[in-house]
Amino acid sequence: MKPRKIKDKIYWMGFIDWDNRLFDSLIPLPDGTSYNSFLIEGSEKTVLIDTVESHLAGELLAQLENVSKLDYLVSLHSEQDHSGSIPQILARYPDAKLITSPKAKGLLKDLLHVPEESFITVSDGETLSLGDKTLEFIHTPWVHWPETMVAYLKEDKILFSCDFFGSHIATTDLYVTDEARVYEAAKRYYAEIMMPFRKVIKKNLEKITSYDISIIAPSHGPMYPRPEFIIDAHRDWIDGPLKNLVVLPYISMHNSTKKMVDFFIASLAEKGVSVERFNLAVTDIGKLAITLVDAGTIVIGTPTILAGPHPNVVYGAFLANALRPKAQFLSIIGSYGWGGKTVEILAGMIPNLKVEIIEPVLAKGLPSEDDFKALENLAETIAAKHKEKGFK
Ligand code: FEO
C-alpha cells in the first residue's frame, strides 16, 4: 500500500496485516492487525515515527521511495512489531538519528544491536523542532513496557501513541468509522497487554489528557478522530465499576464437570447473575481476557487429572493471574476420581488476584444431589455478595 495523506505533510505508512492470526505466538488476532508508521515533513526536518516488523521492512522502504532525506527516526516503543525495521531504515538513511526514551536505548541495543552513535535520547517533555512543526515527547512508562513514550505534534494536535489506545484490526479505514467494532477490539487489546499495568496507565492517561488532542494515532488499528471515545473507554476499563457477572472458564473430560457447570450457570441466571462461560479446550483466550476486565467474580471449573487441575485450566489460571483483573471473588468447581490437590494447586497459582475465595465445590465422580445443593448455595452466596457490593 502507498503512503496515505493524513494532513498536509503528514502521512500514514506501514503495513496492514490481514492474514496474521496470532501475535507474539500467543494472542489471537481474529481481525488481523496493522503496524502504523507516520511520516512528518517539517519545513526543515523530516521524521518517521515507528517502523514495522523486520520481515516487512521492504514494504516500508518502498513507501519511503521518494523521501530522499530522513533526519530523525522516532521509536516510541522497543517491541519488535514497531522497532524491527529500525536497522534497515538506518541503513537506508545513515545520517538519520534515532530518537528514543533513555530506557529504550538500552533495550534497542540489546534487541536489535543498534549502534550507540545512532541514538539521541529525549527526556520527558522535551521538544524537537522540525521547522514549522514541533514534536513533544511525553514519557508514558509501562504502556506496556518500561520504556514507552508518546509524541504530540503541537501544531496539528495529533498524539502518536504507539501501543497506547491500539486495536488489532486490519482495515483500509485510516480513521475509526464504527466505534462499536473498535471498542470491542480495543478492549480486547487493553485486556491482553495493558490490564496488568492499569495503575500506572491511569497516571499516564491523566498526563496525556492535559493536552489538546484532535487525533490519536496509534500504531495498531485505525486513528481516533474523536479521542474522548477511546480515552473514556480506558477510564472505564481501568477504574470503572465491576459488573454483576461471573466469568467461568472450564474444562470437562467425562461430562461430570460440565454437568456442574451447566447447573451452576442456570442457578446463577435464576438469581439474576450474568455468566460468560469459556470452554478452555476451544475458547479464544482474547474473549476470556475481555470478560475479565470487569467481571465481579471468577469461577474456575476443572476435572482432576494427574493429581491436579487440567493443564488447560492451569494455562487459564496462569493467564488470569498475570492479567491481574479487578474481580473481587473467586471459587472453583469440578469433579475428581479418587483424590488430588486441585484446589490447593489452583489457589497457589493466583497470588496476584486480590480476591476473596468462596468455598469450592468438588464432586467425587458424577455430581450427587448434595453436590448440586452445594452449587446452588455457591450461586446464592455469589448473588448476595454482588448485591452487597452493588455490582450492576
Ligand atoms: Fe505493538 Fe508492544 O507492541
pLDDT of residue 83: 98
Are residues 198 and 147 in contact, defined by beta-carbon separation less than 8 angstroms?
A: no
From the CB of 81, is ligand 1 less than 6 Å away? yes
Sign of the dihedral defined by the CA atoms of residues 380, 381, 384, 385, in that order: negative
pLDDT of residue 120: 98
Looking from the CA of residue 219, the nearest atom of ligand 1 is: 1
From the CB of 53, is ligand 1 less than 6 Å away? no
DSSP state of 287: H
Residues 6+ apart with CB under 8 A from 333: 250, 257, 260, 261, 264, 299, 300, 301, 360, 361, 362, 375, 378
The alpha carbon of 351 and the centre of ligand 1 are apart by a number of angstroms equal to: 26
The alpha carbon of 262 and the centre of ligand 1 are apart by a number of angstroms equal to: 38
pLDDT in tens, 287-297: 999 999 999 99
Tell me which residue of 54, 15, 49 sits closest to 35, measured CA to CA: 15
Are residues 181 and 146 in contact, defined by beta-carbon separation less than 8 angstroms?
A: no
Looking from the CA of residue 166, the nearest atom of ligand 1 is: 1
From the CB of 168, is ligand 1 less than 6 Å away? no
From the CB of 79, is ligand 1 less than 6 Å away? yes
The alpha carbon of 83 and the centre of ligand 1 are apart by a number of angstroms equal to: 9
Q: ∠ at Cα 282 (281, 286), nearest 5°?
A: 115
DSSP state of 364: E
Q: What is the pTM of this model?
A: 0.96
pLDDT of residue 30: 95
Tell me how far apart the alpha carbons of residues 64 and 44 are, in angstroms, rounded to a whole number.
18
The alpha carbon of 218 and the centre of ligand 1 are apart by a number of angstroms equal to: 10
Tell the residue nearest (CA) to atom 3 of ligand 1: 79
From the CB of 77, is ligand 1 less than 6 Å away? yes
The alpha carbon of 220 and the centre of ligand 1 are apart by a number of angstroms equal to: 8
The alpha carbon of 129 and the centre of ligand 1 are apart by a number of angstroms equal to: 27
The alpha carbon of 360 and the centre of ligand 1 are apart by a number of angstroms equal to: 38
DSSP state of 356: E
pLDDT in tens, 318-361: 999 999 999 999 999 999 999 889 999 999 999 999 999 999 99
Write out the chain's pLDDT in tens, 392 residues.
Answer: 999 999 999 999 999 999 999 998 889 999 999 999 999 999 999 999 999 999 999 999 999 999 999 999 999 999 999 999 999 999 999 999 999 999 999 999 999 999 999 999 999 999 999 999 999 999 999 999 999 999 999 999 999 999 999 999 999 999 999 999 999 999 999 999 999 999 999 999 999 999 999 999 999 999 999 999 999 999 999 999 999 999 999 999 999 999 999 999 999 999 999 999 999 999 999 999 999 999 999 999 999 999 999 999 999 999 999 999 999 999 999 999 998 899 999 999 999 999 999 999 999 999 999 999 999 999 999 999 999 999 99
Q: ∠ at Cα 178 (172, 181), nearest 5°?
A: 95
